Amino acid sequence: MDAYLTIVGKREVRQYQQRAIPEAVLTQILEAGRASGSSRNRQPWRFIIITDRVRLRDVSTSMARPANISGAAAAIVVAVANARAAFDAGRTAQNMMLAAWTLGIGTCPNTPMDEASLKTALGLPQEMVVPTVLSMGYPAPGERRPLRKADPAGVLKRINRLPLAEVVHREAYRA
Amino acid sequence: MDAYLTIVGKREVRQYQQRAIPEAVLTQILEAGRASGSSRNRQPWRFIIITDRVRLRDVSTSMARPANISGAAAAIVVAVANARAAFDAGRTAQNMMLAAWTLGIGTCPNTPMDEASLKTALGLPQEMVVPTVLSMGYPAPGERRPLRKADPAGVLKRINRLPLAEVVHREAYRA
What are the pLDDT digits (tens) for A24-55? 999 999 999 999 999 999 999 999 999 999 99
CB atoms under 10 Å from CB of A67, counted, come to 12
> How does DSSP assign A117-154, residue by residue?
HHHHHHT--TTSEEEEEEEEESBPTTS----SS--HHH
CB A142 within 8 A of CB A11: no
| Chain B CA closest to residue A78 | B168
- pTM comes to 0.98
What are the pLDDT digits (tens) for A3-18? 999 999 999 999 999 9
Q: Is the pLDDT at B31 greater than 70, yes or no?
A: yes
| Chain B CA closest to residue A65 | B40
Which of left, alpha, beta for B159 (phi over 0: left; psi -120 to 50: alpha)? beta
Q: Summarize the confidence of residues B102-122 as an average pLDDT.
A: 97
CB B39 within 8 A of CB B33: no
What are the pLDDT digits (tens) for A121-169? 999 999 999 999 999 999 999 999 998 889 999 999 999 999 999 999 9
In sign, the C-alpha dihedral spanning A99, A102, A103, A105 is positive
CA distance A174 to B166: 45
Q: Summarize the confidence of residues A86-106 as an average pLDDT.
A: 98
CA distance B119 to B131: 12
Which CATH number does the domain B3-167 belong to among 3.40.109.10, 1.10.3720.10, 3.20.20.140, 3.40.30.10?
Answer: 3.40.109.10
Indicate yes or no: CB of A173 within 8 angstroms of CB of B37: no
Indicate yes or no: CB of B93 within 8 angstroms of CB of A90: yes
CA distance B61 to B114: 9
Mutate to test the interface with B, among A68, A127, A168, A170 (most CBs of B within 10 A): A168
Amino acid B175: pLDDT: 67
| Count of A-B CB contacts under 8 Å | 229
Indicate yes or no: CB of A3 within 8 angstroms of CB of B1: yes
Q: Is the pLDDT at A175 greater than 80, yes or no?
A: no
CB atoms under 10 Å from CB of A144, counted, come to 15
What is the nearest CA distance from B1 to chain A, expressed in angstroms? Answer: 6
Chain B CB contacts of A171 under 8 Å are 48-52, 55
Q: What are the boundaries of each domain within chain B?
A: 3-167
Indicate yes or no: CB of A171 within 8 angstroms of CB of B93: no
Indicate yes or no: CB of B171 within 8 angstroms of CB of A52: yes
